[in-house]
Amino acid sequence: MSFKLFFANTFGLIKSTAKIEAAHDALLADYLMFCEFEKSNQQKEYHELDTLVKSATFKQKKKEIQHLTLHGSKEEAQLNELKKLVKNSRLQKFYSTLKSEELKRFEKISGSDLMVKYKELKTLVEKHSLAALKKMDKQSKEFALYTEFLGLRDSADLTFFRNFRKSPGYRNYEIMLESPERKRLEELQKITASDEFKARVAYLEDKHKWEKTEEAAKEKRYEELLKLPQLVTYLKYKHSTAFDFFKKWNLIFEDRFETGKLDLQKWQTQSHWASQSLGQNFSQVGDLHAFTDGRNVSVDGKSLKIEVRKENAKGMQWRIPFGFVEQEFDYTSGIVSTAGVEWWKHGLLEAKVKYAPAQNLVDALYLLGEESTPQVNLVEMGVKNRLGLLSKSADGIQAACESISGLKEGEFYIFSLEWSAHSLVWKINGREMLSLNQNVPAFKMHLNAASIVVAEPTGSLPHRFEIGWVRFYQHHHNA
């Protein structure tokens, strides 16, 4: 057993595959929502409204409008002044006189022919002394005018006129007629009776005046936007590093095996060398199986399965010096490869694989270039349970690997390989298992998955090599 796995299992450092997947899928969904919202008109609208609503000018205007009332206003002062003037006793007497019948009679007499005649006679009479008037010939014209004067002077109308003019009411009327108080009263009456003033008072008394403003409508829209799931997500991650993985890595290949058959736009069921040289699959010397052309490969909507079966089959085998030779095999298996479609140089390879090693079998998910070596094993199970780099040298095959024995059989794990120009780093469920910086491939490679029978199987058949999904990422600047 790997010490690293023993240590990790002992202290619970291997995270749950299901939790890792759920967290990844949830974060990816949030990231896609974030990116979509970031480009949307709603995001632009939010930023504009956010700047507006949080501005000092906006806050000050809102505060002023909300605290604006009739109490303490210029309009209240004008209304109070008007009430005071309306209650002024001298002005009340003035308007009482102004509306009276006596004033009407007084003004009528004042402008009447009777008053004109009276004034003419008075002017003539006043030229003579009272003693002279009494000695005057009663038959004279002057005495007749004097007699007429006396008649007019003592008439009801002129008697009323003189008495009214001397009355307190009329004296008050004369004083208040051109007074500042009366002018201010009538000015205020005109002001307060205007539609503009009434509208202003109604506005000041309106407890919902802020809600009726254009600014309040914008504030309401801002609050509505804040409730949008997209914006909630956007604000949650705006200054977060949670999306660093997706910002760093660009997904260029993925198969979740969610359909009912193998996607031949991504995979072929022959190895690269089989398709290039023979046009059909072949086995190596020592292998006890024949590779069928896809019959042992299935996709059920949940995973890719490569099946090893106990059955007779004819197949080709590469033998030196004879080349390809047909022979009988007792077992069949399958292989899939991206060689016909996808080759990559540097990136992050991830795969969800069920750990189910079987004796005398080799299940492997690995990268190869144009040659059969080096082989970069994302995961290898069966005869040996390991991950790492296999390279051919003068001394044979050199293995720079780490054991994965100790994983729970029948459980899915996420195996990952980060391949850069200077290193290869393997992880299981996010925990680093192996890091190499020697013999790092510097050329394009393709992905393969295969099951190989190297000796008589001791377990029950059929045996299934099961892969839940595969992803390959590259840095955004390299994609």
Confidence label for 478 from pLDDT (cuts 50, 70 and 90): low
Report, as an integer, the average pLDDT of 104-116. Answer: 94
260 and 191 within one domain: no
Is the overall model pTM greater than 0.85, yes or no? Answer: no
Q: What is the pLDDT of residue 130?
A: 64
Both structure tokens of 414: 């996420």
Q: What is the pLDDT of residue 16?
A: 94
239: pLDDT strictly greater than 70: yes
268 and 173 within one domain: no
Q: Cβ-count burial of 278 within 10 angstroms (0-12 exposed, 13-18 middle, 19+ buried)?
A: middle
Report, as an integer, the average pLDDT of 155-173. Answer: 95
277: pLDDT strictly greater than 80: yes
pLDDT tens, residue by residue, 23-64: 999 999 999 999 999 999 999 999 999 999 999 999 999 999
Is 53 within the bounds of a domain?
no
Report, as an integer, the average pLDDT of 406-425. Answer: 97
Name the least confident of 21-30, 130-139, 405-414: 130-139
Is 225 within the bounds of a domain?
no
Bridge partner list, 392: 397
360 and 462 within one domain: yes
Confidence label for 1 from pLDDT (cuts 50, 70 and 90): low
Domain CATH number, residue 260: 2.60.120.200
Q: What is the 3-state secondary structure (H, E, C) of 326-386?
A: EEEEEEEECEEECCCCCCECCEEEEEEEEECCCCCEEEEEEEECCCCCCEEEEEEEECCCE
Structural Rg of the chain based on CA atoms: 55
Taking CA atoms, 393 is separated from 200, 373, 377, 439, in Å, by 96, 10, 17, 11
Q: What φ, ψ does residue 304 adopt, rounded to 5°?
A: -95, 135
Q: What is the pLDDT of residue 395?
A: 80
262 and 180 within one domain: no
Q: What is the DSSP letter of 474?
A: E
Which of 176, 205, 234 finishes a domain?
Answer: 205
Higher pLDDT pick, 59 / 145: 59
Which of 205, 236, 271 finishes a domain?
Answer: 205
pLDDT tens, residue by residue, 313-339: 999 998 877 788 899 999 999 999 999
CB proximity list for 226: less than 8 A, separation 6 or greater: 232
Q: Is there a cis peptide before residue 229, judged by omega within 30 degrees of 0?
A: no
Is 414 within the bounds of a domain?
yes
Confidence label for 459 from pLDDT (cuts 50, 70 and 90): confident
Q: Give me the chain's average pLDDT, please.
A: 93
428 and 281 within one domain: yes
197 and 283 within one domain: no
Q: Are strands 386-393 and 396-403 parallel, antiparallel or unpaired?
A: antiparallel
Long-range contacts of 123-129 (CB under 8 A, 24+ apart): 124/149, 125/149
Report, as an integer, the average pLDDT of 172-193. Answer: 96
151: pLDDT strictly greater than 60: yes
For the stretch 431-443, what's the b/e string if a residue is b when 16 or more beta carbons lie within 10 angstroms of its beta carbon?
eebbebeeebbee
Entry field: residues in the chain: 479
pLDDT tens, residue by residue, 398-409: 999 999 998 999
Higher pLDDT pick, 220 / 285: 220
Pairwise CA distance, residues 361 & 359, whole Å:
5
Q: What is the pLDDT of residue 223?
A: 97
Q: What is the DSSP letter of 268?
A: B
283 and 396 within one domain: yes
Is 289 within the bounds of a domain?
yes
Bridge partner list, 342: none
Q: What is the pLDDT of residue 291?
A: 96
> What does the DSSP assignment read for 406-454?
TBPTTEEEEEEEEE-SS-EEEEETTEEEEEE-SS---S-BEEEEEEEE-
Is 21 within the bounds of a domain?
no
269 and 194 within one domain: no
Bridge partner list, 431: 428
376 and 462 within one domain: yes
Please, are residues 49 and 221 in contact by the beta-carbon 8 Å criterion? yes
Q: Print the domain residue range for 340.
A: 252-475
Q: What is the pLDDT of residue 7?
A: 54
> What does the DSSP assignment read for 19-84?
HHHHHHHHHHHHHHHHHHHHTSHHHHHHHHHHHHHTSHHHHHHHHHHHT--STTSHHHHHHHHHHH
Question: How many angstroms from the chain centroid is the CA of residue 225?
Answer: 6
263 and 196 within one domain: no
Sign of the alpha-carbon torsion through 188, 190, 193, 197 = negative
448 and 339 within one domain: yes
pLDDT tens, residue by residue, 2-30: 656 655 665 466 899 999 999 999 999 99
Q: What is the pLDDT of residue 479?
A: 52
448: pLDDT strictly greater than 50: yes
CB proximity list for 473: less than 8 A, separation 6 or greater: 249, 250, 251, 252, 347, 348, 350
pLDDT tens, residue by residue, 261-275: 999 999 999 999 999
Q: Cβ-count burial of 364 within 10 angstroms (0-12 exposed, 13-18 middle, 19+ buried)?
A: buried
Q: What is the pLDDT of residue 11?
A: 46
Sign of the alpha-carbon torsion through 454, 281, 418, 243 = negative
Q: What is the pLDDT of residue 6?
A: 56
Is 45 within the bounds of a domain?
no
How many domains does the chain fold into? 2
281 and 201 within one domain: no
Is 222 within the bounds of a domain?
no
143: pLDDT strictly greater than 90: no
The gap between the terminal CA atoms of the chain, to the nearest Å, is: 38
Is 109 within the bounds of a domain?
yes
Pairwise CA distance, residues 369 & 373, whole Å:
7
Element (H, E) at 235: helix 229-237
Furthest C-alpha separation in the chain:
182
Which of 182, 205, 228 finishes a domain?
Answer: 205
